[in-house]
Amino acid sequence: MKRNCFSEMIPPVPEDFHASVQDALNRMESVEKHRRSKAGGMRMAAAAAAALVLVIGLAAVLRARPAVPDRVTVTSENVTVRPTGAVIELTEEPVTVEIGEWRVSDDGNMELDWSISAVEGDALLFCGEAKPVFENGAQLEGFEGFSLMDTTDPDYLQIGGNLLGAGNGTVIQRTGRSSWFDKMPTALAIHFDVYRPTQEAFEHSALGEETFQLRPGWIVYGDGDADSRFAMPIDWHDGSHEFKTCFGSKLVTDQLYAFMDARFDRELITGGEALELLQEDGAMRTALLEGYDFAEHVKSFDFIVDLTERSGVGADEIE
């Protein structure tokens, strides 16, 4: 292997590459202006600081002609918000999401109505999904959940690359109807988090350096700052379990996956397994948080609660 041969292995830079760089340099100011004007237009009362809120975890088991709830309303009552010193302290200002009646449309779709207490135009950080779970346990990939956010908003895409389809953006409608194609799911698992952040937090999130309030039910990797990442075990009500990551910076993601791969050779674990993992001293530090002083942040574990209990909240209400 000759010296410097590495530098010759890359294809020549194509001509249009330089043009695209130049194009980005020409547009960067207008892109930033656009983003700032959107953020500014979102009524984020500074004094009201910001707020975090809510969670909905619920599931409905449907069989052939399932006994479906007439109405399920889940608020943040079951969630205890505990601020940490590592994140922006948020003032709770609940955002309530109401899930309406289930029905089967004329063309065979399953439909439901939903509404959110946020005002149209509100800026929210959003992390949610409402995925049908079919008999074989498969989920509908690419399903965006509720059509709550303006997914064409460039800010949404900024952090929209994580597994939960989370992002931030503006509320485009307060109510809506979601339908699930022509398939009838055996269960529907909904996880839905809405955060109303401070202006500052919103700005950070738009830059990919999200800062969030921590809350029970979230496993926190890192200290809640830009290098943190959250992971959430989900116990689906069809008996399957899933472990998903969400928010936080993208920096830790690969370490997280490497850890998951090495530890389980799969991405699915139960909430209980996740908790056990966290209790294994040093495991996360070496495998996940290489380069971070994890011991310093172990206090984040205070926020872990019985995840099974958390995901069962919705189910209890339905029954």
Partner 1 sequence: MDRTDFTSRVLACERRMYAMAYCMLHNSADCQDAVQEAIFSAWRSRERLRDASVFDAWLMQILVNVCRDILRRRKRRGEVELSESVALPESPDVQLYAAVRRLDERLRLPVVLRYVNGYSSQEVARILRLPYRSVLKRLRQAREALKEDLWEVKE
Distance CA 190, CA 231 (A): 16
Of the candidate spans 17-25, 59-67, 166-174, 306-314, the one that interacts with partner 1 by CB under 8 A turns out to be 17-25
Footprint of partner 1 on residues 80-139 (CB under 8 A)? Answer: none
Asked if 45 touches partner 1 (CB under 8 A), the answer is no
Sheet holding 167-170, edge to edge: 55-61, 187-195, 123-133, 167-170
139-144 long-range contacts, Cβ below 8 Å, gap at least 24? 140/180, 140/181, 140/183
Contacts with 282 (C-beta within 8 Å, 6 or more apart), sequence order: none
| Number of Cβ atoms within 10 Å of the Cβ of 297 | 20
The answer to whether the CB of 245 falls within 8 A of the CB of 251 is: no
Distance CA 51, CA 309 (A): 24
Of the candidate spans 22-30, 67-75, 213-221, 296-304, the one that interacts with partner 1 by CB under 8 A turns out to be 22-30
Binding partner 1 by CB under 8 A: which of 46, 70, 142, 152? 142
Of the candidate spans 24-32, 39-47, 108-116, 307-315, the one that interacts with partner 1 by CB under 8 A turns out to be 24-32
Asked if 8 touches partner 1 (CB under 8 A), the answer is yes
Our CB check for partner 1 shows the closer of 8 and 107 to be 8
The answer to whether the CB of 171 falls within 8 A of the CB of 116 is: yes
Distance CA 229, CA 250 (A): 8
Our CB check for partner 1 shows the closer of 174 and 250 to be 250
Asked if 47 touches partner 1 (CB under 8 A), the answer is no
Binding partner 1 by CB under 8 A: which of 70, 141, 265, 281? 141
Our CB check for partner 1 shows the closer of 91 and 253 to be 253
Interface residues with partner 1 (CB under 8 A) are: 1-2, 5-14, 16-18, 20-21, 23-25, 27-29, 31-32, 35, 141-142, 158, 161-163, 206-209, 227, 249-251, 253-254, 258, 290-291
